[in-house]
Structure 1
Amino acid sequence: MHQGSRIVTLDNGFHLFTRTVGQGDVNLLCVHGGPGGTHEEFENFAEHLKDHHVRVSMYDQLGSFYSDQPDYTLPENRKYLTIDYYLSELEEVRKKLGLDHFYLLGHSWGGLLAQEYALHYPEHLQGLVIMSMIDNLDEYIDNVNREREETLSKRDVRYMKEVEAEQRFDDPKYRELVDVLNRHFAMRHPENGFQHNVSTMATPVYNYFQGDNEFVMVGKLTEWDRRADTHKIKTPTLLTFGDHDTMPLDAAERMHREMPNSRLVYTPDGGHCHSTDNPKAFFHTLGEFLDDVSSHRFKLKQAVGGHTYEEK
């Protein structure tokens, strides 16, 4: 398999940035969040997993960072703003990278696509990692609203709702309140993450699917719900969440009960981006899962809840 960065040309003519790093016979393909995030959140995975003999592949989805960025105001490009498109893109990337019997990891929006992939193409998977994503958005919306109300004062919550009703999302006080919530539940330790002088978020993609920020879910993804199909995912699966995630942990526990071949682990002091918040705990959990599945030691977890990583 080609190592390093590579541009692949899709059948639709667009170009995607891909990157493969690490040595080993365990192939892990990572799908970034957002929608509209970047592959960069996985750049340190190969180094952290080197003792587990993992080769990590990642890519920027259409519209994101180093990949082509269509003008989505053009009618002919709107067809690319669908879950079905990004699922087909994921399968095409798999083929072009020559992956089969591989592990698929999806974070947030990428975790949504990972669930869709496991339902449509299970024959290609050796293992599945769903990172900070549940199987519907209704429970997510309820949870982030609850987190906001429990974290901020009633006055501040009311102020945010007024701004959102008027769509004045660039209001300075509103941005400050979003930053407070992000520090509690999105990324608790941003000092561990990578830094840019400019924003790398593909805003048109994010706004279309999500909205303005993680705490105002008004985009197209509100229509997505796979609760009726969760039990159909038979692939050995790791469900991994931060213990302060934006995602509801009771929904994660329900998914764990319904998925016949799953393991659920919480990362302490972790938010939605818990691989950045607490990398030691996260990569211990991920490495153990990859080892267990690859060596056929994976054990079914039938307990009602997950467990939190504890430092040995």
Structure 2
Amino acid sequence: MATGTRLLQLKNGFHLFTRTVGHGPIKLLCLHGGPGSNHTEFENFAAELGKDRVQVTMYDQLGSFFSDQPDFSLPENQHYLTLDYYLSELEEVRQQLGLDQFYLLGHSWGGLLAQEYALKYGQHLKGLVVMSMIDNIAEYTVHINALRAATLTSSQVAYMQGIEHAEAFDDPEYQALVDVLNRQFVCRHPEKGPRQLVATTATQVYNHFQGNNEFVMVGTLNGWDRRADLHKITVPTLLTFGEYDTMPLATARRMQQTLPQARLVLTPDGGHCHSIDNPPAFFQNLGQYLQDVEHNQFTAY
């Protein structure tokens, strides 16, 4: 596949920004998190995986960064704010880019989308990388509440809950407490991120699916659950999490046992954005997984 930037026109008329970097026979398509984040978290992947001969493709999902940003408040656009839409968008991106027997990596929301893709379109995958995402929202919600209770004082938690009930999310004290939690569990070492990293979020998209922040789960993803279907994903799968992830590691371990071919790895001193927090450890694990699958030496553990 040719490297560089390419603007795809979808069947619905909207345009998506895509970028392909690196050279090699291993094709890796990356799905950003959020929902509503952007492709820049993957800008350093090709360079970091250079010795593994990996070509990395990334794109901004509809509503995000360089891709078209429709007004989702309009009735005619609201049907795009669904999991089904973003899944069909991913398949159309795959088709337009001519990818087949490729590796799909998804971070956070992208990891949810990647699981859905593997269940519906698994015949196109050579491997799956689920990065900081579990197979249901309920256990995530329990875990983030437990993290908040263990990190903050009871009065601080009560204050946050009051702000959330009032939906007064711009409150400075509330935002300061969110920052404390983010630095502990989301991105512990933002200074280590790729120089191209841009911290933008498509607020309409994020708020619709998630809520105001990572520690409030009130969006439409609430109730998503693939625990009963996870065993149907048969491609070699890498489950990669940060040591201090917002996602429950007990659930990750259960996923490793449920999936027919799964390897679970943890990034030391990493949070939810562990590829940023500890790049050497993250890319060592990812590169090893890709090489093991390529050489038919993949083992689950």
TM range (shorter): over 0.9
Q: Is 1:224 aligned to residue 190 of structure 2?
A: no
The aligned amino acid for 2:175 is R
TM-aligned CA deviation for residue 71 of structure 1: 0.4
- Matched residue SS, 1:105: strand
SS at match of 1:46: helix
Distance, in Å, in 2 between the alignment partners of 1:71 and 1:197 is 25
Runs of 4+ in 1 over 4 A off after TM superposition: 194-199
Secondary structure of residue in 1 paired with 2:222? helix
**Alignment-derived partner of residue 86 in structure 1:** 86
Matches of 1:178 and 1:57, distance apart in 2: 32
Q: Secondary structure at the match of 1:221?
A: coil
- Structure 1 residues without counterparts, runs of 5 or longer: 302-312
Q: Cα deviations across residues 109-142 of structure 1 (Å, max 9, x unaligned)?
A: 0000000000001110000000000000000000
Alpha-carbon separation, structure 1, partners of 2:214 and 2:31: 18
Distance 1:272 1:73 in 2: 30
Percent of aligned pairs sharing the same letter: 64
For residues 30-50 of structure 1, the C-alpha deviation after alignment (integer angstroms, 9 at most, x for no partner) is: 000000000000000000000
Matched position secondary structure for 1:33: coil
Residue aligned with 1:300, SS: coil
Q: Compute the displacement of 1:299 (Å).
A: 1.2
TM-fit CA distance, 1:282: 0.1
**Compared CA separation, residues 196 and 152, structure 1 to 2 (3 A):** farther
TM-score, normalised relative to structure 2: 0.98
Trace 1:139-158 onto structure 2 (pairs within 5 A): 139-158=139-158
- The whole-number CA distance in structure 2 between the counterparts of 1:194 and 1:138 is 32
User: CA separation in 1, counterparts of 2:201 and 2:110?
Assistant: 15
Structure 2 residue aligned with 1:213: 213
Partner of 1:280: 280
Deviation at 1:193, TM superposition (A): 2.3
* Whole-Å separation in 1 of the counterparts to 2:203 and 2:195: 18
Aligned Cα root-mean-square deviation (Å): 1.2
Tell me, yes or no, if structure 1 residue 9 matches structure 2 residue 12.
no
- Residue 188 (structure 1) aligns with: 188
Alignment-derived partner of residue 61 in structure 2: 61
1:120-135 alignment runs, 5 A limit: 120-135=120-135
| Distance in structure 2 (CA, Å) of the matches to 1:140 and 1:167 | 21
The alpha-carbon deviation at position 102 of structure 1 amounts to: 0.2
1:264-303, CA deviations, whole angstroms, 9 ceiling, x for partnerless residues? 00000000000000000000000000000011000132xx
The answer to whether the 8 A contact 2:143-2:246 is kept is yes
Tell me by how many angstroms 1:105 deviates.
0.1
Cα contact 2:187–2:272 (8 A) shared by 1: yes
2: CA distance between counterparts of 1:19 and 1:213? 28
Q: CA deviation at 1:190?
A: 1.1
- Matched length: 301
Deviation at 1:209, TM superposition (A): 0.2
Distance 1:198 1:246 in 2: 21
5+ residue gaps, structure 2: none
Alpha-carbon distance in structure 1 between the residues aligned to 2:193 and 2:154: 31
1:249 aligns with 2:249: yes
